[in-house]
Structures are given as C-alpha cells and as structure tokens.
Amino acid sequence: MILMRHAETVFNVVFGGMRIDPGICDPALTVAGRAQAAEATEALRAAEVRRVVASPYARALETAHIVARALGLPVAVEPLVRERTAFACDIGTPRSHLAARWAGVAFDRLEEIWWSDGEEPPDSFEARCRAFRRTMAGAPDWPHVLVVTHWGVIRSLTGRTVKNCETVRLDPTAPTADGRDGTGPGADG
C-alpha cells in the first residue's frame, strides 16, 4: 500500500515556526497544501491506485479528495488511521459536520465525536496502527491502495518520518522490525 501524509495545513505552518501549539482544531489545508496534493496526484497516476482510504481529519479528507477526484476514485474513511490525539489539531470535527461537508462519503463507521478525549495513550495508538496493518494485510487489493493519513501513523507503521504529501510504500504482510508479521497471534503484544 502507499501511505501518504496529508498536505500542509495552517497548523503545520504556525507550529513549524514556533514549536508551540497554536490551538487550531482540525485545520484545513493551506493554498500551498492544496497545490502539494495536486502535484502528488501526478506521481500517483503511475502507481495504479485503485482505492483511496483517508483518516477522518479534515486535512486528510481534503488531501484525499484532491487526489481521488483527479484519479476518478471515491474516498473511504478509516478511523484506524487517524492521528494520535496530542495537539489542538487532533481535535476533530463531529461526524455530522463532516458528512455535510463531504456529501457522498460514508461516515457510518464514526461516532459523532470520534477522536480521543484528551491525549491518547501511546500503547492505544500503537495497537490501533497494528490493527490497521492486519486489516490491510487481509485485503487482496492492498498493493493498489492509497492511505492518506498522518505523520504519527506513518512513523508507527514504517519507522520513517515524512513531510507533507510525502509517500511511503508498505507491504502489510511483511515482517515488522521486531520480526512479527503484524497479522498473527501476539501481534498486539
């Protein structure tokens, strides 16, 4: 599968300069971020993407929609690939508001308030990422799936840190760094 970090947001710009949480909840993309997503689309055309999966955060949905529209694909929302709640930007938008903004996208797998209340414990976040990896390992089309997600999710799944709109390929059936395949007994251990 191809993991893509969402495009640049206002939060990214402000936090990147100050290293202080600016208090912006579920930020939208910047003009530069929308351009990043459009540019990334061109590189993804050759990857034979057949399905787009996105985190329910607005920044990931907006990025995914720019790419999916250009590729002629729908977007599916996957709550397992949401960012770990740690900053104001990780306070999401209620499901009903997302559904009104992105008509035609199914948000039925989300609670109305779907993000963590307070900082999400690291072990809970890691378990969620492992659960997503196992799910994708069982999907026959995983080599052709684009997952628009976040820095923390990509780092958890691959050990890599990425910039906005950077992509990383991941074989969810391959052994993890600790030698486990992420799909069998003990995968959550």
Would 188 be classed as within a structural domain?
no
Span of 13-27, 105-119, 136-150 with lowest mean pLDDT: 13-27
Q: Any residues with CB less than 8 A from the CB of 150 and at least 6 apart, and which?
A: 5, 6, 55, 57, 60, 81, 82, 83
Would 102 be classed as within a structural domain?
yes
φ and ψ at residue 168, rounded to 5 degrees: -140, 135
Domain limits for position 30? 2-169
Question: Helix (H) and strand (E) counts for the chain?
Answer: 6, 5
| Per-residue pLDDT, 178 | 59
- The span from the CA of 30 to the CA of 36, in Å, is 10
Per-residue confidence band for 43, with pLDDT thresholds at 50, 70 and 90: confident
Q: Any residues with CB less than 8 A from the CB of 77 and at least 6 apart, and which?
A: 53, 54, 55, 56, 61, 105, 106, 107, 109, 110
**Which CATH number do you get for residue 67?**
3.40.50.1240
Would 92 be classed as within a structural domain?
yes
| Per-residue pLDDT, 104 | 86
Would 180 be classed as within a structural domain?
no
Would 134 be classed as within a structural domain?
yes
- 45-97 pLDDT, tens digit per residue, is 999 999 999 999 999 999 999 999 999 999 999 999 999 999 999 999 999 99
Q: How many domains does the chain have?
A: 1
Q: Is the pLDDT of residue 107 over 80?
A: yes
Q: H helices of the chain, where? A: 10-18, 31-45, 58-71, 95-101, 122-137, 151-158
Q: What's the pTM?
A: 0.92
